Structure formats: structure tokens, C-alpha cells
Structure 1
Amino acid sequence: MGTRRFTAYSAKHLDELLKRARLDEEERLKVRAVATVLPFRTNAYVVDELIDWSAAPDDPIYRLVFPQADMLPTTDVARLTGMLRDDAPKAELLAEANRIRQTLNPHPAGQMELNVPRIGREPVPGMQHKYPETVLFFPKQGQTCHAYCTYCFRWAQFVGDADLKFASDDIDQLVAYLRVHPEVTSVLLTGGDPMIMGEPVLKRYIEPLLEIEQIESIRIGTKSLAYWPQRFVSDPDADDTLRLFERVVAAGKNLAFMAHFSHTRELEPELVATAAERIIGAGAVIRTQAPLIRTINDAPGVWSDMWRRQLTLGMIPYYMFVERDTGPQDYFAVPLADAYQIFREAYSSVSGLCRTVRGPSMSATPGKVCVDGIADIAGQRVFVLHFIQARDPELVGKPFFAQYDPKAAWLTDLKPAFADWFPFEGAPRKTRLSA
């Protein structure tokens, strides 16, 4: 397992793989219909080592990477299924898929409009600057992953539509931006998955950041430890990659390896432990995060087991996220009230060393909003919330309240309590009466 070459599976392999889940022809056709809209990619390690095919299609890792027939509205799936059955022209199928994609909020939280930084009047492509101290950079060569998660909020990056892509290969432009923004102390390389890049390419993006004195930390957002731990153990450039990590630390920067683990099973292979040991040995800090996903990890025991296993491997539990308002959110979302109860029960059953984790947190347009609890105040049941991060730093850490709604699954589903507006909205302007 450790020395096997990376083998990717794409939509052209989907029908054959689905037979292993014992789906009949009509069920496979519906899944293929969904895959014309939402991206599909996995690899031999995930297929052969992580999925329990005897439990598919209900196996959580199977559901993590394989599209489900009911992830899209029934009418859309029926239309696409009919087109596939009738062998419709590719152009017509693509046009219908693109129409459906536009109904799925492909870029949540104003990613294409609100977060784009500028040098002077010129926008800087492939970057986001949502919080004062942090810039996100999307390397062009990192705009894919070892496998795609079915819940991924960045699914639009992977469907081949240039209008939905968000990336850059101009590291000089990033450096120029950082030099005129001394408030930025942290750079997050994200994607896709930056660890899909080989060491020579990854080095081109990281090494220039080591010369910028104000930068205190470099973060790498990645699912590679779960989907291809060989990247740090047996891949041809594994040792070179770890030496690059060592150079980051030697330059006085904190290297934060932001590892995405969605289920305990992803942590079970011994290869993951070996990879984690090597990454930590190179001086990086591994912090773990994932969204709460219905049918995959929506049980307290899954999270408490994950956090404990991560702790034993030297990782730091960091975030439980709420599924974002994009793509198949209606399929995967867990109501906020349930999310809080799952988090609270899992949190209460682990030691203090695991309680570094924060959540459940919504990465919404105004910032990261954490659900702190459900309380009865002045005769009213409310959600107690606070900003972990905010576009407006003045909002960070200040509690605010929303009316309790057992069905609410996102910030925009909530209404303010004890006020006419939320703190991030500001007082509405009074309209003048006409004379």
C-alpha cells in the first residue's frame, strides 16, 4: 500500500465503480446524472483502503466521495437522466449542467465579489483578503485534489468552467500585495489542495514568503493526509517536501498544516500515523478541521473518536464547521440546533487537550459565527452566538442572539433576538417620507 503509485478515478470510471456498491443500472444512471453537475474524483487508496464496500452505498466514506442520486432536485435529476439515456449531445448536457450549477450558489460568502484584494485599482486574481491579518492564495497548479468530497463548498473550482475558477500562478503579485499590507501576518495556501503539487512547484509559492518579515505563519489547507498519506511517506518527492517544511520553520515562520478529516476511518491506517509523525518531525503543527455532514459524521461519537485519535497522533483539533450554503447543502446540512447538541455531547466526552476545537462554526459572509449554545432568556428561547473572526474586527468575541429556530441551518435562516437587526447588519437607514 505504501509504495503504490497514485491512480486517480474520474467520471469516466464512475459506472464501473458503482457496480461495487451493487447499484442497478437505473440507480447508476441517476448517480451519473448528478456527476454531470457536481465533480467526481477519487483514487485507488480511498477506493481500496477506506471504503467498506460491503456497507455501500451507506458506508460513510463511500458517501463522502461518491455522488448520491438525491443530492439534486428530483426534476433536475430526471431531466439529466433522460438526456443521458437518450445520448444527448455533449453541448446540450453541459448547458443543462451549467444551468443547474448556477442555482447552487457556486461562490458562497461573496468569494468572487467581496474578498478580492486590489493593488491600487487593479484586482489581484487568485487571492482573498476577508480578515485583516489573513490572506488566502489559490495556487493555479493546486486546483484539484487527490479526491473530491461530495460536500465540498469549493466544488465550483473543479467543474471545468473558467468563469467559476479562482486561482493564480503569480507569486510576485502576492508578494507585492503583502508588502503594501503590513497588517497581513498569515498566508493560507488553499485550493483545491496545494499538496497535489509536487515539491518543485510548491517551493515556488512558499520560498518567497520566507523573505517577508511581517509574515508570522504559513498555512496549508489540505485533505492529503486522509486521501493520500503516501504524499509524505513514499512519493518520490516526499523527503524533499519535508525538507521544504523544515526551511519554513528555520526561517522563523509557524507552519500550520490544516488537515481535513471527515471521519474516524480516515485516521485508522498506519500510513496516516507515519505521515503525521514525519510532518510534525519537520516542525509543522497539524490542526484538524471538517464540516458536520448529514449521513457521514452527524453523530457525537464520530467526532469524539476523531478528536481523541487526532490527539494521540500529535494533531490539534481545531474546527467543527457547519455545511456551507452552496452545492448540495439541502442534502448534507444539519440544523444548527442539532449541530450544537452534537458538538456539545462530543466536546463533553473528551479531555481538555481535545477541547482546543471550536464549533459549530459558520463561515458566513460577515465572518466565522460560532453557535455557543441554546438558552432561555427573558422568556424567549434563543441561540447564543459570537464571531470567531469577522470582516469588522470590532465584532470578534462579542456575543449576540438569534431567535431559536429548530430548522435553521445557516446564518441567513436566523432572525435577531432582543433587537431589530444583527450587529453585523447595522441599523437600517430611515427612509424619508415624500413631501
Structure 2
Amino acid sequence: MAITKANSLKGEIKVPGDKSISHRGVMFGAISEGTTELTGFLDGADCCSTIGCFRAMGIDISQDADHVIIHGKGLHGLKAPSQMLDVGNSGTTTRLISGILAGQPFVSSLNGDESIQKRPMGRIITPLTQMGAHVRSIKDNGCAPLEIGGAPLKAIHYDSPVASAQVKSCVLLAGLYADGVTSVTEPVVSRNHTELMLSGFGADIKSEGLTASIVGGPKLYGQKIEVPGDISSAAYFIVAGLICPNSDVLIKNVNTNPTRAGIIKIAQDMGGNIELLNERIVSGEPVADIHVTSSNLHGCEISGDIIPTLIDELPVIAVMAACADGTTTIKDAAELKVKESDRIATVTENLKNMGCDITPTDDGMIIKGGQPLKGTTIKTYLDHRIAMSFAIAGLVANGETTFDDESCCCISYPKFFETLSSIVNQ
């Protein structure tokens, strides 16, 4: 794949279904009674890993592209898998399913690819152990593969040291199998898809300030869920429309949940022409069409409470910062180090290779923007968000931008390059 400079971007597009909601729809449907139907499901590798895990535990799931039907068997209907569960590249699958497995009357194990085997799982092992589950890192390094021995669970209050929807969701899902009320307090509120969706399935779940709590032992009932477009996928086209000249792009049907939509605020803070149209609620989630046009951008500081609302978008935000006048400083984002790659290092390396003045820090980066970028070969480190972010950088770079391996885009956006080419005018 080679990307060259675009003269403009014009058109109307739709992006794939929200990855977080797609994962949760399968999981919650599997442990509910009756049938759950998902439309707009993200047919990407990560979400298909979740389907595979629940099929391996006896759940009947049919899929036709973005339409998925899950025949749930209730909280206690899962069967012991006959072999190790394969979570692929998916951190969401790994951490959320661990909360469900912790409450089962059988021993299970799970593992994924090389990237998953490096990602920190101590952050879920600790609270699950406090609840009475038997969870261990098989290699004793705090990472997958994991072995989980289900056990009677006790409700706890957990003060999470990190703002992580995956950790919060893991504990709340384990709380479904515990007596009493299980609660999680975070340092900053993370995305709240679990709370919104579980409530729709019938759970007694509440959020107050920084704390989410759930009552154990509910009956969950299957739902019909329309999955909106993923703002993390829309982010690439938001940035592209802002930084490419003479551009006018409309991205239809995007999830604009405020716990996820920090990129919209930052784009506006940087001077971006971005507006939300046709705002509405779909299956409990706020949704809108996003309209962006070419903009003269300037640097800003990105830090504090907004970081969890845009953590997955920071690689493409860094590209936007490279194209903005002045300095952009990203702070409080040490979580970037434990994603599919160390995204502080990978963003810094690739932007430097494109001619950007960028300095990595312990919890972010400092980007002095406004200088022309040049094409190079992007080292993706098999990280889908790095590959797609630097495809967008290639649209404004002189020369040709290529990739050592762009196939990783299939993790979250199998048709990314097809969508991009549909709006690019060379």
C-alpha cells in the first residue's frame, strides 16, 4: 500500500460499528436469557475473537457480516471450553471475559498473540483475586496466558489505580456473580458503554461521580442493539478532513458518547471546523453525523481528565498536531505505553522519520508542528492505530508513504483503505 499527497477530500462516508459496543453486545448477549440481535456489528478481527471465545463455551452465535444473533443461556449457562480460549489481539476480550470467567464453576485459560502476551493483566488479577477468584499468569509475569479458576465471588469496593474501562468492566462483570454490591472507583471517569448497555439488559447498575456499582445475581434479558459507527474509526477521517486542503467530509452515524468523544473537543480547541449534525440517541448511546472541513490549526495542551476520552485517538491527534502551527503538548497519557505497541515510542519514531520535530516524554510527547512532512516507510509494529494514523499523515506528506505491514488494520477496520480511497482526490 502506498499513500501520496491528496489535493482534497470530498464525500460522505460511514465507518464500521463501534468496537467497544460490538464486544459488549456479544458478551452480554451470551450471559442473558433469550436472543440478542446486533446490527452494525464490527466485523473485525478483535470482535470476531470475542465471538470465537463464546462459541467455544457453548453459545450459539450466527453472523452475516455486520448482523449478529446471539442465543444466550443466562448467567450460568456457559460450558467449560475444551481448549484454551484464543483472544487474538484483543485486550477488551481478554480483560472483560476474565470477569465473566471468574464467576464460572470451571477452570479456563486464555491466550492471544504476541502483543497480548506483553500487555499488563495484573490490573485485573488483583481485583478478581480480592473477590475470591483463582487467577494466575501462567508464565508468572503478570501477562497472558491466564488461568482462571471460577469460584464463589464476594462483592468488593475496588479503588482502581488507573482510569480503564476494561478494568472497570472486568470487575463489574465479576460483580454479576457476587453476593451484594460490587463497586469500582476510578481516578478519572472512563468510557461508560458497560454501564449503559448492562442497564439495558436488566442489570441493577449505577454511576455516581467516579464510582460505578452493580448488584449481583440479576436476570439479564436479550436485546436488539443498533451499533453506531466507531468514533475511533471516524477519528482518522476527522483529522484527514481538517488537515487536507479544500476538503469537505461528512461522517454519518457516529457514536458521540462524551466519555469517548474527546477528539471532537480537541479538534475544536485547535481551531478545527467541525460540527455535529442530526444528534440523536440510538440504543442508549448518543449518535450524530460529523461534518469537517479544511482548517487552519494551532497547537494546544492535551492533558488531565480528557485523556481517557481520547486515549485511542492520540496517535492520529499527534498527526494533526504535526500539521498545526505551534506546539502541542500531550501529558498524562502513560497508558499509551501499554497498548498494542508502545504508542509514545512508535508515534515518535514515525513522525521523526517524516521530518516532524517531536520529543517523547514519560507520559506523552511534545510536538512542534507546522513543518512539511515527507513520505517514508512506516513501521507499524502490527498496531492498527499506528498504520491508519500514518496513512492520514501520508495524505499531506511530500513523496510516497508506505508501510512495513498494513494488514493489521483488519483488527478494527478491514476496509479502511477502501473508504479512504473513496474520498481522496489526487
Report the TM-score when normalising by structure 2. 0.29
Larger Rg: 1
Q: Which has the higher helix share?
A: 1
Q: Which has the higher strand share?
A: 2
Say which structure, 1 or 2, has more relative contact order (CA 8 Å, 6+ apart).
2
Report the TM-score when normalising by structure 1. 0.29
